[in-house]
Structure 1
């Protein structure tokens, strides 16, 4: 009977085979399965294509080298999400980049920003507003609202309590709703031009309730 090929194994079995030493074949299958989803998470978390690509590359290299650290307490995808999100946040902190240019925030197949179609305009506005959220709130919203990751799993990915994820999502949604009202982003820009941070972002950055970390 022929041995199972990488494509026949589940994620945990692939990781175990990689740790056992198969020359990277099993990990290559993991990368093939999950790279697109991880890139989408990274793109929305960083708001910048180049940073997202670098973070995903860094994350998968880290996962490849530290695969033995996976203990099976959570799904392999949860483990990968955690590494990718941490890589994104680390890069944002190190680079201290601004992620406010709408052209940097679209998906891979996002139409040209000069296309006046309503859905394109809406997507650009949403991505621009998302980029203005604090990193912790953005990461929570990306996982829970945009990638349908359960709150419990998002808590494992982000290394915080479930209540903290809910709090960050709530505050992030409030801030996004305010920015997406007519004139919301324009008002924020005007406030910045006057040297004062936009009120909606200041509100979003309020200290989280005690017990949320």
Structure 2
């Protein structure tokens, strides 16, 4: 005569490994079938079945025997499926958020590259003395006095050159806007 599920569950809850093994052997296909119907996908069903089987020893600690074992087991499987769906929804929302963040970050990077390309093209159109001045002031972060010393010119000339650079860059931008 076969031992009833409720007796096996009570014994398994008390730590009887043979009773637990008998329960798993007897109900594995039932668990898997329900998981398949709940998830609709073979791989998901297999993962969920394994999750349920691994959680059963802990879950059996709360077994009170008030319901038929299979009813209790179905509840465990359904709750595990709900928990899995919630986790997947949270992960999807988080991934979506990161995706949006990454898209925005890539857009910023591309905008920076575009600005660099524009500046590179504009700088190529400047005479060497103006390019040298810009390179020292912005590229090397020198003061006008330091740039004047390096270039061997007066500070007033550095100021005039920067004014000329701004004028030429505005003209370059205006030509590009028309094109």
Question: What TM-score range do you get, normalising by the shorter chain?
Answer: 0.3 to 0.5
TM-score for both structures, normalised by structure 1 = 0.39
TM-score for both structures, normalised by structure 2 = 0.46
